[in-house]
Structure 1
C-alpha cells in the first residue's frame, strides 16, 4: 500500500489528541513564563548580588514555566503536523516545512534556548562553576 491510503495508528491518534490538549494551553503557559521572568528579574534588580531563598524560588519557578511552555510549543508542533506524523517520518518531514509548523518550531526552540541559558547562568546571572 502506498503512502496516500495510509492511516494513522491508534497509538498515533492517542498521542495526537494528547498533544492537541497540551497545545491548547500554550497561550496561558507563555503568559505564565512572562510573569515568572518578570518576577525573577524584579527580584534580581532589587539586589543583583543576592542569592536569597526567594531569588532561588523565583529562579526555579521561571525554569518550570519555561519548561512547560516549551513542551506545549513542541506539542503544538506535533499537533500541527498531524497524527500520521507520529508513524511516518517522510510525512512528518514534509509537514514540518509548512510555515505554521516552522513558526511554532522556532518558538519552541527559542523557549528551549531561554531555559538552557537560564540554567547555565543561574539565579545570580553568572555562569555556574562546573561540579568536579
Structure 2
C-alpha cells in the first residue's frame, strides 16, 4: 500500500462524511423541481431548478463515490483485485448500488428534467 493510497483514503473518508447532508440538499432540490412542474412554471424557472437539482445530485454522487472507495479500504486504491473483492461485501455492494442509483437519477434528470430552451435563430442579411 502506497502513501498516496493512504492520503486518498483519508480524503475520501472526510468527503463521505458530508454525504447525508448533500443527499438532503438533492432531495430538497428535487422537491422544488417537482413543485414547479406541478405549478406549471415557465421554462426559465424549470431550467434553473433542473440545473440546481443536477448540481446537488453531482455533489451527492461525488460524496457517495468517496464513501464507496473508503469502504473498499486502503488496499483497493492500488489493487484492482482487492477492489473487486471489496465490492462483493455487504457494505461494498450497498455503496455500489447507491452510486448506481444516483448516477441513474442524474442521467434521467439530464435527459428529461432540464428543459431545452429554444434559442432564437440569428437573422441573415
**TM-score, normalised with respect to structure 2:** 0.88
Gaps of 5+ in 1: 1-7
Aligned to 2:123: none
How far, CA to CA, are the matches of 1:61 and 1:37 in structure 2?
Answer: 9
Q: 6, 11, 26: which is aligned to 2:4?
A: 11
Q: Which of the residues 49, 58, 75 maps onto 1:67?
A: 58
Distance (Å, rounded) in 2 between the aligned partners of 1:104 and 1:86:
16
Residues in 1 aligned to 2:86 and 2:50: alpha-carbon distance in whole angstroms: 36
Q: Would the aligned equivalents of 1:32 and 1:65 in 2 still touch at CA under 8 Å?
A: yes
Q: Deviations over 1:33-78 (max 9, x none)?
A: 0000000110111006x312x2211111100011111111111010
Structure 2 residues without counterparts, runs of 5 or longer = 117-125
Q: Report the Cα offset of residue 102 of structure 1.
A: 0.4
Q: Report whether the alignment pairs 1:79 with 2:84.
A: no
The structure whose residues are more often helix, as a share, is 2
Once the two structures are superposed, the pairs formed by residues 1-132 of structure 1 within 5 Å of their partners are 8-47=1-40, 50-52=42-44, 54-124=45-115
User: C-alpha distance in 2, partners of 1:110/1:32?
Assistant: 16
The number of residues matched between the two structures is 116
Deviation at 1:122, TM superposition (A): 3.4
Task: Give the ranges of 4+ consecutive aligned residues of structure 1 lying more than 3 Å apart after TM superposition.
Answer: none
